[in-house]
Each structure stands twice: as C-alpha cells, then as structure tokens.
Amino acid sequence: MSDLPGIDEALALVLAHARRLPLEDVAITAAAGRVLAEAAHAVIDLPPFASSAMDGYAVRAADTPGPLAVVGHSAAGRPEQRAVGPGEAFVISTGAVVPDGADAVVPVERTTGEVVVEEVAAGENVRPQGGDTRAGDIVVEAGSVLGPPQVSALAAAGVAVVRCARRPRVAVLATGSELRAPGEPLALGEIYESNSVLIAAQLEQSGAQATVFPPVADDPAATLAALERALELDVLITSGGVSVGPHDLVRATLAELGATEVFWRVAVKPGKPIAFAVRGDTLVFGLPGNPVSALVGLELFVRPALRALQGAREPGPHYLPGRLAQAVPRNAQRDELVRARRDGDQLAPLSGQDSHMIVRAAAANALVLVPRGDGDLAQGSQVSYLQI
Ligand code: AMP
Ligand code: MG
C-alpha cells in the first residue's frame, strides 16, 4: 500500500501530461471562467480623463473658501467646452470631466447656498487620468483565471477580445449495469446514476465543455464501443469499473484501445482506485464509481488538469488553512479528504464519511486534508482544506 503514489506525486504525473490546448480569440463578453493565455494590456488610460469623484462644484482650489459663480455644468458623458476661470465654478457630477482650469471638486455638503465654506486642496475629489492604470500597462497577467473582477477590468481598460486556450472538450462516461437515470423506476439491484451530473457540473466550473455519453453496462463490447468514441476528445472521464472485480472493465479496455496507464491507485481516501492514462494528447481519468470517491478525484486531479490544459499559472488544487473543530482519526496508509462544514476557520467533520454517502457529502462545504498517520489528529490542529 505504501508504495502507491501519494496525492502530490500523482498530481505531478497528471500535470506533466497536460499540454496547453491551441489558442483562440474570445470576446470579453464570453471570457468569464476562461484562462488568459497572453497578458492583456490596457488600451487606454483609466480613467481616460481627470474626472470627478463626487457630485459638487468644479473649482480652482486657490479660490476656496469663498463665493461660487456657477457658469457651467459638466455631467457624466456631457462635458462643457469652456474652461473654469478665476472665481468661477461648474456644477459637476460623479464621473464627469473636470474642466480645464479647475483642479478640485467641492462636494455639495461643503457649500451653503453659493459659498464654499471650507478650503479644498488642489486635486481633492479629482480622479486623475490614468490613476487606475496607464495605456499599455498589464491589466491581467497571462495564466490568470478570468473571474468577474478580471473581465470587468479588461472591459474598463478597453479590451474587447482576449486570447485563451480553447475550452477542453471532455467526454463523460459512467459505467455500471446497475445504473438508471433519475425519473425511471428502479428494479432490485439498481441505483440512480449520479456521477455524470457531478462530473458535468464540475467541468462547467472548470471552463471545460462536457459531452455526456449514455451510461454503459459492464459488458466488454459495449464498453469498448463507448470508450472508443469517448477517447476522441481532449479528456475522457469515466466513472466506475476501475477496481478489481470481474466486471471492472475500464482499464483493460482502455489498454486495448491503445491508452497507456500512467498510474492506477493513489494513497488517498476515498478514491484509491483512480486510474490515469493517456492516449496521444488525450488525458483519461478513470474515477471510482462511489460518488464521493469520484468527487474527491475530480477536485484533486481533474480540475487542476483542466486548468493546466487551459494554461493556468496556478492550476491548483488551492488549499486554504483552517483548524479542526474536533479530533479526527488518521488513516495509517492514506491521506484522507474528510467532508466538513466550515464556520470561520473551524472545520467540523460531518457524520457519514463512507464513500457512497453522497447525500451526507452534499452538506459539506470543505474537504479537509487529514494526512496519513497514527492515532487522532487533535481538535484545534492546523489543517488544509479545499472549498467545495
Ligand atoms: P465501481 O467503482 O464500479 O466498483 O462502483 C463502486 C460503487 O459505486 C458501486 O456501489 C456502484 O454501484 C456505485 N456507482 C458506480 N457508478 C455510479 C454512478 N455513475 N452513480 C452512482 N453510483 C455509482
Ligand atoms: Mg461498477
């Protein structure tokens, strides 16, 4: 058992095989969730002009305190053409151009009638041109995942199109003669198929495009036919059929189809029987059938691989620090991912840690890494966890 690769070793093997996919242009309106392949530079200074941070009056700071002779109005998107002269002021709105001649904005609250009651300093309430970024400066670095703030920053800086690796095309194939779709009646021995939706949902979060194949029975010919088609995409994720039972056909069938196994089984709980293989540039993950094992395999290995295929600088998994709210027994041979509920930095393990208990796992928002060892990991121990 101890000769099995650990989580880090297995992940390194996966990432070593994940080559970035070809690049394409992506409109900024469709770029959320994608990974930026090349640094994106500001097209303009931002703000593009000195603008007001307040609703008030644009003035010459040297004229304050004192009376206001309001001679113009600069509204957002509607600048005045003339300049502010000595003793003059413009009504100005937030985001409007600070007119030539003016060097400060007096908020309405600091005026009474038409008199500025307090001195304002030059530059006060003025957002300088280029104060956020300069034209040509990097807005988002290569390899960044484009979340809401990043796409907004790029749009603000005038970037309409970005370069990204194309989305990984991923085949999803559940195996098992016992599997039925929810909504259908179940005969004795059958269960509802829940891994395809798990995998597809996770792929959606990872910027990948899922093609979900109909589940295949534990039959050699059917498995061969399904795997053959599924292997044509960038990534194939199977579930079930990678253990040692007589009906576990996935690994042998993959080998028959020319896939080379890189590893089978990892010193992790749950999810030990996970297989990873490659055929050409296609990555193949054989996830175990138990839903919680599949979930753990997806978080530990598949998500980082998908991010690496998209050229992410930090493909993850991204562990966060926390503390155990109660003692947890350690597994002697395998690092364990314990389903837990996080409250602040406190991580409370849930009851029902068996790998088939997906309903129990659905109450978790954290996978706590409990390194292998003897005895308990004490309450209050510093641990790492993954948000799920
Ligand atoms: P296996 O990895 O094929 O030995 O399956 C392990 C356990 O996971 C068995 O109890 C299977 O019935 C169950 N299982 C396999 N595939 C799925 C699936 N797609 N959805 C839900 N449970 C599954
Ligand atoms: Mg099975």
Among candidate residues 237, 230, 218, 205, the one with its CA nearest the CA of residue 179: 218
96 touches 75 (CB < 8 A): yes
Among candidate residues 158, 59, 156, 174, the one with its CA nearest the CA of residue 106: 59
Q: Is 178 in the pocket of ligand 1 (CB under 6 A)?
A: yes
pLDDT for 316-358, tens place per residue? 999 999 999 999 999 999 999 999 999 999 999 999 999 999 9
**Residue 6, Ramachandran bin (φ over 0: left; ψ between -120 and 50: alpha; else beta):** beta
Among candidate residues 52, 58, 73, 50, the one with its CA nearest the CA of residue 120: 58
Confidence of residue 114 (pLDDT cuts 50, 70, 90): confident
Q: Which of 264, 281, 309 is the last residue of a domain?
A: 309
Look-up: residue for tokens 């959320």? 32
pLDDT for 297-317, tens place per residue? 999 999 999 999 999 999 999
Domain annotation covers residue 1:
no
CA of 292 to the centre of ligand 1 (A): 10
131-135 long-range CB contacts below 8 Å, 24 or more apart? 131/46, 131/47, 132/46, 132/47, 132/156, 133/42, 133/45, 133/46, 133/157, 134/42, 134/45, 135/41, 135/42, 135/43, 135/44, 135/45
Domain annotation covers residue 315:
no
pLDDT for 23-69, tens place per residue? 999 999 999 999 999 999 999 999 999 999 999 999 999 999 999 99
- The average pLDDT across 190-201 equals 98
Is the pLDDT score of 244 beyond 70? yes
For residue 278, give every residue at least 6 positions away whose Cβ sits within 8 Å of its Cβ, in sequence order, or none. 17, 259, 260, 262, 284
Q: Is 174 in the pocket of ligand 1 (CB under 6 A)?
A: yes
Q: Are residues 196 and 267 in the same domain?
A: yes
Q: What is the mean pLDDT of the chain?
A: 97
Q: Are residues 143 and 188 in the same domain?
A: no
Taken in order 288, 290, 293, 298, is the CA torsion positive or negative?
positive
Q: Are residues 236 and 296 in the same domain?
A: yes
Measured CA to CA, the distance from residue 126 to residue 49 in angstroms comes to 10
pLDDT of residue 317: 98
**CATH number, domain with residue 69:** 2.170.190.11
pLDDT of residue 1: 47
Token pair, residue 222, equals 């059917």
pTM of the complete model: 0.94
Q: Are residues 15 and 28 in the same domain?
A: no
Q: Are residues 277 and 185 in the same domain?
A: yes
- Distance from the Cα of residue 240 to its chain's centroid: 27
106 touches 64 (CB < 8 A): yes
- The average pLDDT across 203-208 equals 96
Q: Which of 274, 309, 344 is the last residue of a domain?
A: 309
Domain annotation covers residue 336:
yes
Domain annotation covers residue 325:
yes
Closest ligand to residue 287's CA? 1
Ligand 1 probe mutation, 290, 298, 354, 359, most atoms within 8 A of CB: 290
Q: Is 243 in the pocket of ligand 1 (CB under 6 A)?
A: yes
Q: Are residues 122 and 226 in the same domain?
A: no
Q: Which of 165, 182, 215 is the last residue of a domain?
A: 165
pLDDT for 355-381, tens place per residue? 999 999 999 999 999 999 999 999 999
Measured CA to CA, the distance from residue 313 to residue 154 in angstroms comes to 18
**CATH number, domain with residue 353:** 2.40.340.10
Q: Are residues 247 and 337 in the same domain?
A: no
Q: Are residues 189 and 248 in the same domain?
A: yes
For residue 285, give every residue at least 6 positions away whose Cβ sits within 8 Å of its Cβ, in sequence order, or none. 235, 236, 237, 238, 274, 275, 276, 297, 301, 302, 305
pLDDT of residue 2: 58
Q: Which domain holds residue 161?
A: 23-45+135-165
Give me the helices (H) in 177-249, please. 195-205, 220-230
**CATH number, domain with residue 37:** 3.90.105.10
CA of 355 to the centre of ligand 2 (A): 14
Domain annotation covers residue 2:
no
DSSP for 344-370, written as a single string: TTEEEEPS---TT-HHHHTT-SEEEEE
Closest ligand to residue 177's CA? 2
Q: Is 289 in the pocket of ligand 1 (CB under 6 A)?
A: yes
Domain annotation covers residue 184:
yes
Q: Are residues 147 and 238 in the same domain?
A: no
Q: Are residues 380 and 274 in the same domain?
A: no
Q: Are residues 140 and 38 in the same domain?
A: yes
Count of domains observed in the chain: 4
Q: Are residues 283 and 199 in the same domain?
A: yes
Atom of ligand 1 nearest to the CA of 196: 19
For residue 99, give every residue at least 6 positions away whose Cβ sits within 8 Å of its Cβ, in sequence order, or none. 58, 72, 74, 79, 80, 82, 83, 84, 90, 92
Token pair, residue 129, equals 């041109």
Is the pLDDT score of 388 beyond 60? yes
- 8-state DSSP, 136: T
Closest ligand to residue 289's CA? 1
pLDDT for 151-191, tens place per residue? 999 999 999 999 999 999 999 999 999 999 999 999 999 99
Atom of ligand 1 nearest to the CA of 218: 3
